[in-house]
Amino acid sequence: MSADNTPALDPITLEIIANGLRSIADECFVALMRSSYSTNIKERKDHSIALVDRQGRLVVQAALTLPIHIASMGGLMQCVLEKFDGDIEEGDIFVANDPHTAGGTHLPDINYAMPIFVQGEIVAFVCNIAHHADIGGMVPGSMAGGMSEIYQEGLRIPVIKLFRRGVLQNDIMDLMLLNVRVPDERRGDHNAQIASCKLGARRFGEVVETHGLGNVLNAFDEIISRTAQRMKSAIAEIPDGTYHWQDFMDGDGISRVDIPINLALTVSGENVHCDFSGTSEQVAGNINTTMNAVQASACYALIAALDSEIPSNQGVLDVVDITAEPGTLINCVFPAPVAARAHTCQRVVDTVLGALSKALPDKVIAAANGANTTAVFSGVDPRTGKPYLYLETLGGGMGARATKDGKDGVQVHITNTSNLPVESIEQEYPLRVEEYSLVENSGGAGTYRGGMGLRRVLTPVDHKCVFNGAGERFRNQPWGLFGGQPGASGRFIFRDAEGDRRLDDKPGEVAVTDSDRIIVETPGAGGYGDPADREPARVEEDRSSGKFTEAFIAKHYGDNQVG
C-alpha cells in the first residue's frame, strides 16, 4: 500500500489523475446540493467538498468550495487522526462541528469525513461540510448577535463516529435532531452529506482501479508540493519589506465599540509572514474566530492577489506563516462564541489586501462589503402548521479594481455562495419579497467605482414571525484605495404604521406582523483611484443606469461629466 516503489509520474499522467480527483470533488459537491433539503444548501450552495490524504493533508477541493471551509475540513481531519488513531475502520463516517475541540469554525457548519480503504488499508478521506440553517441554541438560525459564550450558540458535536462499520448510530442522529428547530429539514441535509461521502469513496475507487494506487498516492504528493512551489514563486514577486494595515469591526453584538485588527505583512524572498500582533483581545460577542479560520482567510487573500489559479490545498497552508496570539479576536480560546466569525474573516481578507496594496497596487481591490449580512425569519407556516426557518447571508458590493468597477450585489471573498432567488423564498416560506434591488449611491466613487449593496424588503404572509440578523460594515464603511471613496454602510430597518426605525446592527429577536416590513440593506464597496480621473462616458453610464443620483454625481464627478 505504498507509493515508494512506484516510478515518478510524468506530467501528463499527473494532470489526468489530478483532474480525476477534482472531478470527484465536483461531482460530490453537486450531489450534496441536489439531494439536500434546505435552501441554504440546495439554492445558495453553502457547502464544500475535499479529498484528504491519510496524513490529513488537503489534496483537492471542489471548484465551488467556499474558501473559509478549507479551515474546518483541515481542522476536522487533524482531530480525527489524533482521537481515533488505530481505531478507524472501513464504513466509519465521522461527524463534528465544535470550534474548540473538533477543528470547526462555527457550530452551523457540520463536518463529515469518511475514510477510503483499498485492500484493507486507509489511503484517503472524503470530507464535506454544510452550513445547517439552524443548530439549536438561544436564537433561531444560531447566528444572531448577543450570544456571549459557545454554549448559547447551539449543539456542540465533538469528533464522533456517526457510522460504525457502515452502520448508522441512530441514537447519535436522534440526539442531533432533538436539538434543532426544524428536524426534518436537518435530517435531509445530514442524509445528503452522508450520501456525498459514500459517492466520493466509490468514485475514488474507480480512479485507483484505472491508474493504480501507487500512482494516485504519488499524485497526492506531487499536487501538494507543486502547489507549494507555485505559491512560493508568486510570493517572490512581492517586493521584500514589511507592510502594515489596520481595520476595524463595528462591534461584537453586545457593545458598539470599534474592534481593531492589526497586520504586519513581511515578505522576504519566497517567504511571507502575517503577524496580527496588536489585534484586539477576544470579545464578549460572537465575532471571534479560531486560528484555522484566519489561516484560511489569509491564504485566500494571498492567492486572490498573487495567482488566482493556484489550487487551494495543503501546499498553500504550509507556505504561509501566521502569528496570532491565543486569546485574541482572531485566535480565540474556549468558551468564546464564534457564530458570526465570517464577518471577522472577511475583515481579515480586507486587512491582508490593504497591506498588499502598498506593495502590489495593481493586484488588489478596495474594501468589499466586508460582511455576511445575515437575515433570519422564523415562525409557524400557516399553510402547514409546521415550524419554518429562513436563513440567508446576502451579498453586497465588491471592491473596485485597478482597471474595472466593482461588481454589484454579489457574495465576495471567502463566501462565494449565491443570493437566494425571490422565487425560492416565496415558494419555500410564508414570506413575501416586496423589493429586491440595488442600494442607490452605495458604490464608492473613484476612477473605478465600488460595487453596490443589495436591498430586500420582506414581510410575513398571514402570520407573525420573528426576525434576527447580523451585519458588519454598518458603521465602518468599506474603504477606497488611492483616492477612491468609501462605499456606503449597511443597515436593518423596521417599518410599521408609524414609519421607519433603524434596528441594531446585530439585532436579536424582533417580532414582525404581516403589516410590518423588514428592510435589509447590505454595504457597498470602496472605489479605486481619484474620482476626478473617471472617464466621462462611465459617469454618464452611472447617471443613465439610475444607480446614482444627480446629487451624488455632481458631488464626486462634477468636473468630468459628458458635455
pLDDT digits (tens, 9 = 90+) for 135-180: 999 999 998 888 899 999 999 999 999 999 999 999 999 999 999 9
% of residues, the chain, pLDDT over 70: 98
Half-sphere exposure of 453 (CA within 13 A, CB side): 35
- Comparing CA positions, the residue from 265, 3, 36, 18 lying closest to residue 129 is 36
For the chain, give the longest Cα–Cα distance: 78
pLDDT tens digits for 44-85? 999 999 999 999 999 999 988 888 888 778 888 999 999 999
- Provide CATH code, domain 11-230: 3.30.450
- Comparing CA positions, the residue from 47, 63, 44 lying closest to residue 419 is 44
- 3-class DSSP state of 538: helix
Mean pLDDT per 10-residue section of the chain, whose length is 563 residues: 68 94 96 95 92 94 85 86 94 96 93 95 96 93 88 96 97 96 96 97 96 95 96 97 97 90 98 97 95 94 94 92 96 95 95 97 95 93 95 95 96 88 94 97 98 98 96 96 98 96 94 97 98 95 95 88 53
Q: Write down the pLDDT at residue 301.
A: 96
SS3 track for 60-75: EECCCCCCCHHHHHHH
SS3 track for 184-244: HHHHHHHHHHHHHHHHHHHHHHHHHHHHCHHHHHHHHHHHHHHHHHHHHHHHCCCCCEEEE
Q: Write down the pLDDT at residue 2.
A: 46
Rounded Cα gap, residues 144 and 330, in angstroms: 19
**Distance (Å) of CA 440 to CA 217, 300, 403, 490, 551:** 53, 30, 23, 12, 12
Q: Write down the pLDDT at residue 216.
A: 95
- Comparing CA positions, the residue from 357, 341, 339 lying closest to residue 296 is 341
Q: Write down the pLDDT at residue 256.
A: 79
Rounded Cα gap, residues 451 and 453, in angstroms: 7
**Distance (Å) of CA 525 to CA 38, 450, 475:** 30, 5, 13
CB 341, CB 328: distance < 8 Å:
no
Residue 262 cell numbers, joined? 492589526
CA quadruple 302, 304, 309, 310: dihedral, nearest 10: 20
All residues at 6 or more sequence positions from 427 whose CB lies less than 8 Å from its CB, including other chains = none
- Comparing CA positions, the residue from 193, 222, 229 lying closest to residue 60 is 222
pLDDT tens digits for 320-354? 999 999 999 999 999 999 999 999 999 999 999 99
Residue 391 cell numbers, joined? 436563513
All CATH 3.30.450 domain ranges of the chain, comma separated, are 11-230
- Comparing CA positions, the residue from 15, 78, 46 lying closest to residue 317 is 78
Report which DSSP code applies to 510: E
- 3-class DSSP state of 413: coil
pLDDT tens digits for 108-139? 999 999 999 999 999 999 999 999 999 999 99
- Comparing CA positions, the residue from 299, 47, 23, 314 lying closest to residue 192 is 47
CB 514, CB 463: distance < 8 Å:
yes
Rounded Cα gap, residues 186 and 108, in angstroms: 11
- 3-class DSSP state of 81: helix
How far separated are the first and last CA of the chain, in Å rounded? 74
